[in-house]
Amino acid sequence: MAPYIARRLLLTVPLLIVVSFVTFLLIRLSPMDPAEVVLQAQETPQITEELLAQTREELGMNDPFLLQYANWLMSCFRLDFGESYVSGQPVWSLIGPAFANTLSLTLISSVFIIVLSTLLGVVSALREGSLADKSTRGLSFFLTAIPSYGLASVLIWLLAVKLDWLPTSGMDSAASFVLPVAVIAVNYVGIYFRTVRSSVLSNKNEEYVLYARASGLSERAVTMRILRNSLQVAVAIFGMSIPIILGSTVVIENVFAWPGLGRLSVKAILSRDFPIIQAYVLIVAVAFVVINTVSDIVNAAINPKLRSERA
């Protein structure tokens, strides 16, 4: 196990460097001159060549490229992502709390997704062909076709406005979590429950099941063995899904006015607030790489077969 972990970690470090480099490069590729954007955002009345040159010098844009990157990277380690072009506030003071809010939304949704899709997947696989199985699968086909923002709007209209059971937006109480979590969960349960189901089904046809039955094990014991083997696939997929959900709560956050990363980043994109966009990309990409690494290690711990393969 230890060699596997070492190998996997060795792979992660260069990846993190590349990720940070690409993030840095991204902003340089922008067709707009950052100095000009800063001055426009600060509503400077008249942008002169002199002013531009001075701003460039302040932003360190005259340094050699790699030095700029190194300086930027070092300041990122100190959580110094610069200041927002628009409000002038430090980026971390905006993005830190937003990250925490998005993370709590993601983690709570993931718990629901894991529990619900495992439950539905196992039940519909064990009762394959039954009415429950067919209706769950039919429903999942329909639910995955609904755009999440559409579903969110309908739920807001029905539960928050017509019935007045839940808050429409914001993050004030535990009740605020209900609608966003429900919408995210519906979206992903429809996908992941089928993965669990297919994994249980393919295990049902394995020879060890035949052997277990032939040696007279009770049906209950056989089922337990099927579950143990098939849930490994589920663990793998859930591990990878958490960063995906982290990145794709953007739409949900905007519909529910959730004070998270997604809302912050869309606002930043619309106002071309590059330091926020850059910090957002870096933070989520690093979270993505780190969570992927952790889930690979967890998977290898559960399933020895994976350890021998190339990391």
Residue from 19, 59, 108, 116 binding other proteins (CB under 8 A): 19
Residue from 5, 8, 27, 116 binding other proteins (CB under 8 A): 27
Which amino acid is it at 113?
I
In angstroms, give the least distance from the CB of 122 to other proteins: 14
Contacts of 196 (CB under 8 A, 6+ apart): 117, 118, 120, 121, 122, 125, 230, 231, 233, 234
Joined together, the tokens standing for residue 261 give: 């990363």
Q: Is 90 helix (H, G, I), strand (E, B) or coil?
A: strand
The reply on whether position 135 binds other proteins by CB under 8 A is: no
Residue from 5, 7, 8, 15 binding other proteins (CB under 8 A): 15
Q: Per CB under 8 A, which region of 175-183, 190-198, 217-225, 298-306 contacts other proteins?
A: 190-198
Ordered alpha helix ranges (H), 146-260: 148-155, 175-204, 207-214, 219-248, 250-255
- Binders of other proteins among residues 276 to 295 (CB under 8 A) are 277, 280-281, 284-285, 288-289, 292
257 vs 254: CA distance, rounded Å: 5
Cα-based angle 114, 116, 119 (whole degrees, multiple of 5): 100
In angstroms, give the least distance from the CB of 297 to other proteins: 16
In angstroms, give the least distance from the CB of 42 to other proteins: 19
CA of 290: how far to CAs of 50, 100, 232, 236, 242, in Å? Answer: 44, 16, 20, 15, 11
Which amino acid is it at 304?
P
Count CA within 13 A, CB hemisphere, residue 131.
0
In angstroms, give the least distance from the CB of 309 to other proteins: 14
Strand partners, 90: 83
Binding to other proteins by CB under 8 A, coded x per residue (else -) over 144-183, reads xxxxxxx--xx-xx---x----------------------
In angstroms, give the least distance from the CB of 8 to other proteins: 13
- Binders of other proteins among residues 45 to 64 (CB under 8 A) are none
Residue from 13, 128, 302, 305 binding other proteins (CB under 8 A): 128
Judge contact between 273 and 41, C-beta under 8 A: yes
In angstroms, give the least distance from the CB of 217 to other proteins: 23
CA of 157: how far to CAs of 147, 162, 191, 250, in Å? Answer: 16, 6, 25, 20
In angstroms, give the least distance from the CB of 246 to other proteins: 7
Number of residues that bind other proteins (CB under 8 A): 64
Strand partners, 83: 90
Joined together, the tokens standing for residue 270 give: 């619309």
Other C-beta atoms closer than 10 Å to the C-beta of 193 total 25
In angstroms, give the least distance from the CB of 32 to other proteins: 8
Q: Could you list the residues that contact other proteins (CB under 8 A)?
A: 15, 18-19, 22-23, 26-27, 29-31, 128-129, 137, 141-142, 144-150, 153-154, 156-157, 161, 188, 191-192, 194-195, 197-199, 201-202, 237, 240-241, 243-244, 246-248, 250-251, 254-255, 265-266, 268-270, 272, 274, 277, 280-281, 284-285, 288-289, 292
